[in-house]
Structure 1
Amino acid sequence: MIVFRYLAREVLITMSAVSATLLVIIMSGRFIRYLAQATRGIIDPSVLLWIMAFKIPGFLQMILPLGLFLGILLAYGRLYMDSEMTVLTATGMSQQRLMLYSLAPALLVALLVAWLSLGLTPKGAEQADRILNDQDSLTEFDTLEAGRFQKMRNSDRVTYVESLTKDRTELGGVFISEKRRSEDGTKERGITVLVANSGRQEIHPDGSRYLILEDGYRYDGTPGGAEYRVTKYDAHGVLMPKAEVNADVTDREALSTRALIDSDKPRLKIELQWRLSLPILVFVITLLAVPLSRVNPRQGRFLKLLPAILLYMAYLALLIAVRGALLKGQLPAGIGFWTVHVLFLLVGLLMLYWEPLQLSWKARRSVQEVAHG
């Protein structure tokens, strides 16, 4: 029992450190992408942390299996390097018993991954999608910041204001540049620049919004050309584009597991199989990691690390490829994911029993040689 607690603690501590490092790296990359969208005025900076918080379960369900895999490799590899595993082997610790001890932390991680993939991740994805859909409904006034040039999504207009009231209805020092296009939208027909000392927002009964500019100039022309038309105005109305609102969350990753179980749609059944595959992945990679962690102290603990990572990446990449093939209807839904799991399960069993089989074969051969000698 002491040995079991010691091995489990080593694996879980190493797994936690590796998983935390991977989580920080992945979240940093995703946060930078959202931050770039915020700087372009696509989303409100105040919701960035909420989006990242709701995305964490989805990150963890993919990170924890890899963290466990690397945790077993690094923890057991250190024991082999320090000859601790040699001492345990001399006291009766076989590879099969080591595997049984390793299945305990694997069961804990599998339960956590199942909770994430079947429960928390869909809820987090639903909330994140709702926030992003709400951001899609924002108008130019909702994301406008004083002193910053801003371009709206799918728009040829760039807006700049020197000052902006808190209720975002009164603007000062307005500059708007917009490309003019042909009726079919394929050809540019010049550029229009509007400058005004002040502006205000006006909402009509039909919901359309206008920016009323006051005391300014309008410049129409073609960049590089000499002909420009300059118009001075006391008041000029600019129609603000309406944002496309998608209030319904239809992403299958955001649907609850209960909804997937009750659905007869093939794509939703495939999503359910994918969620169930992640906990199974944990047990299979544990079976792969235990024999791969066995190293010779003379060779170094990191000798098998790169091949092990490549094997794990092949496993995960094959699952993702099968998922894509199933969604395209190229594979039968009943055998897709399970074929991959069985394949790597057999690989793990082969690696686990390969050395005992070799020793048994060599022993029989030696007995035969002595008998015939």
Structure 2
Amino acid sequence: MLFDSSIRKELARSFGGTVIVLVTVLVTMTLIRVLGQASRGNFNPADVMLVMGYTVVTFMPSMMSLALFVAVVMTLSRLYADSEMVIWFSSRVGLARLLPALLRFAWPVLLAIALLSLLALPWAKSQINELQRQFSQRNDLERIEPGQFQTSADGSRVFFIEKGDIGELKANNVFVATDEGNKKTVISARQGYTELVGGDRFLILEHGQRLETRADEPGMRVAEFEHYRMLVVQDPLGDGGPTSLGARPTLDLLLTPSRENLGELSMRVGHPLVALQLIIFALAYTRVNPRVSRTGNLILSLMLFQILQNMINIGQSWIRQGAVNFWAFMLLMHGGLLLAAMVWLALRHRAWDWRTLLPRRRQAAMLQGRIQP
């Protein structure tokens, strides 16, 4: 009981400090990235903090896995360096005895990683896509400034107002030029404003003139109007078309098991599985050499974490391309890694070494009491 409580308290301190450091770095990098995207017109500058929050959520499964892994490695390294592990070993507490204590601390974190990966990650990506879509559809009129020509996102329309705000029912002397292939139209009106009907946004022009020319017809058509309605944005708040792969709910991926969906599903399921494997790997390989700095374990941990994350991404690409079956990849990668970690842990728990497998060295080790007969 004392062993479990002491291990969990130290893990909690290490995990909390690591999470704070990683999240701080992540927020800083995300803020720089989102500000750059907003400056290029991908997002509304007013939504920068909102987009940054959603982006941080998409990276949280990986960050929490890394924080948990680093916390376990640093805790075990400290126990080895301060000779506390020697005390526990002399009390007949082997490495395998540490695994239940680590899992009792880690299971809420593993559950949080699974929920973030399966539920929060696609939700956050869908919110980012929705903000980007709404801004790209609405900014044609919202960015219009008096005295300036404003081109629409697709380049098919040019807007101009002399004064006022076209969204506040008080824009005067409105000019709109459209280019629809072989037909070009120029519309001028004394007044204009926008109106939302259902999910469609219309530009309402009053007291104006419409000029139309066609490439396949000579001459020009001129028409005067008292009231003219032009569809500008079709259903900006409704269905924005096909949902991106990363924003699809996990349930949809399960119900429609195409290669693309299974590839995305392998990535989402892989985050909690890799986090579990990293805990066992940390317990199996962590040790401290008095002649070497303790940062060696941390460097090896970061390298192992990056390798496993790359394997998840590579597997996702292979599944989407049809190079490997989903179940085969999950079994070979995650099952193989879990088996390798457990075998490694068992070898260290029994103090086995490949050199002791040789007859003479094994007999010498038995005489020294290093391994059991």
Both proteins in one fold, TM over 0.5: yes
For the 8 Å contact 1:40–1:152, the answer to whether it is kept is no
Q: Partner residue of 1:36?
A: 36
Cα 1:85/1:201, change in 2 over 3 Å: farther
> Residues 350 and 125 from structure 1, CA distance in 2 versus in 1: closer, same or farther, beyond 3 angstroms?
same
2:30 and 2:55 in contact (8 A); partners too: no
| Mapping 1:172-191, distance limit 5 Å | none
- Is this contact kept in 1: 2:262–2:319, CA < 8 A? no
Counterpart for residue 175 of structure 2: none
TM (norm. structure 1) is 0.71
Using the TM superposition, give the Cα deviation of residue 112 of structure 1 relative to its aligned residue in structure 2, in angstroms.
Answer: 0.9
| Contact 1:42/1:152 (8 A) holds in 2 | no
Deviates more, 1:96-105 or 1:338-347: 338-347
Encode CA deviations 1:264-298: one digit per residue, 9 max, x unaligned.
43322333333222221121111111123221233
Q: Distance in 1 between matches of 2:41 and 2:170?
A: 19
Residue aligning to 1:321: 314
Task: Classify 1:152/1:122 alpha carbon distance in 2 versus 1 (closer, same or farther; 3 Å).
Answer: same
Distance in structure 2 (CA, Å) of the matches to 1:368 and 1:292: 23
Residue 6 of structure 1, CA deviation: 1.6
- Which of 271, 275, 300 lines up with 1:282 in the alignment? 275
2:77 matched to which residue of 1?
77
1:357 maps to which of 331, 352, 358: 352
1:169 deviates by: 7.0
**Could you tell which deviates more after superposition, 327-336 or 317-326?**
327-336
The reply to whether residue 17 of structure 1 matches residue 17 of structure 2 is yes
Could you tell me how far apart the structure 2 residues matched to 1:167 and 1:253 are?
34
How many aligned residue pairs are there? Answer: 331
Paired with 1:145 and 1:295, the residues of 2 have a C-alpha distance of 65
**In structure 1, what residue type is equivalent to 2:126?**
E
Assess, with a 3 A threshold, how the Cα gap between structure 1 residues 161 and 209 changes in structure 2: closer, same or farther.
closer
Q: 2:69 and 2:23 mapped to 1: Cα distance?
A: 15
Deviation digits for residues 139-183 of structure 1 (CA, Å, limit 9, x no counterpart)? 3342457999999767699999999759567789xxxxxxxxxx9
CA distance in 2, matches of 1:339, 1:295: 31
| TM-aligned CA distance change 1:80 to 1:135, over 3 Å | same
In the alignment, the residues of structure 2 paired with residue 104 and residue 43 of structure 1 have an alpha-carbon distance, to the nearest angstrom, of 43
Q: Which runs of 5+ in 2 are unaligned?
A: 173-180, 183-189, 207-229, 369-373
**Residue 10 of structure 1: how far off its partner (Å):** 1.6
Aligned-pair CA distance for 1:117: 1.6
Q: Residue 80 of structure 1 contacts residue 297 of structure 1 at CA under 8 Å; is this kept in 2?
A: no
For 1:232-271, list aligned pairs within 5 A: 247-248=240-241, 250-271=243-264
* C-alpha contact 1:40 1:150 (8 A) present in aligned 2: no
CA RMSD of aligned residues (A): 4.3
Distance 1:323 1:119, change over 3 A: same
Alpha-carbon distance, 1:110 to partner: 1.3
Distance 2:107 2:85 in 1: 23
Aligned residue number for residue 127 of structure 1:
127
Change (3 A) 1:303 1:169: same
Q: Using the alignment, how far apart are the partners of 2:159 and 2:84 within structure 1?
A: 67
Do the aligned partners of residues 369 and 276 (structure 1) sit closer, same or farther apart at CA in structure 2, a change above 3 Å counting?
closer
Shift, 1:133, TM fit: 1.5
Cα 1:170–1:332, aligned 2, differ >3 Å: closer, same or farther?
Answer: same
Match of 1:366 among 352, 364, 367: 364
User: Which whole-Å CA distance do the structure 2 matches of 1:251 and 1:291 have between them?
Assistant: 40
Tell me: CA distance 1:49–1:360, structure 2 relative to 1, closer, same or farther (3 Å): same
What is the Cα deviation at residue 331 of structure 1? 1.4
1:308 is displaced (CA, Å) by 2.4
1:87 aligned partner: 87
| CA deviation string 1:110-133 (max 9, x = no partner) | 111111122222222222222222
On the 8 A contact 1:149/1:160 being kept in 2, the answer is yes
Please state how far the C-alpha of 1:201 moved relative to its aligned partner.
5.5
Aligned to 1:273: 266
Q: Is the 8 A contact 1:81 1:300 kept in 2?
A: no
Q: 1:241 to 1:110 in 2, by over 3 A?
A: same
**Structure 1 runs (4+) greater than 4 angstroms displaced:** 144-172, 199-212, 239-246, 359-363, 367-370
Q: What amino acid does structure 2 have at the position aligned with 1:86?
A: V
**Greater relative contact order (CA < 8 Å, ≥ 6 in sequence):** 1
Q: Which amino acid is the alignment partner of residue 365 of structure 1?
A: Q
Aligned equivalents of 2:21, 2:50: Cα separation in 1: 21
Which residue identity is paired with 2:98? L
Match of 1:114 in 2: 114
> Is the CA contact 1:152–1:158 (under 8 Å) kept in the aligned structure 2?
yes
Q: Give CA-to-partner distance per residue, 1:179-220, whole Å, 9 cap, x none.
A: xxxx99xxxxxxxxxxxxxx98666999676999xxxxxxxx
1:333 partnered with 2:326: yes
| Equivalent residue, structure 2, for 1:8 | 8
Which segments of 5 or more consecutive residues in structure 1 lack a partner in the other structure? 173-182, 185-198, 213-238
Amino acid at match of 1:302: T
**In 1, Cα distance between equivalents of 2:298 and 2:147:** 51
**What letter is aligned with 1:258?**
L
- AA at the equivalent of 1:53: G
Show the counterpart of 1:63. 63
Tell me, in whole angstroms, the C-alpha distance in 1 between the residues paired with 2:110 and 2:93: 25
Greater Cα offset, 335-344 or 159-168 = 159-168
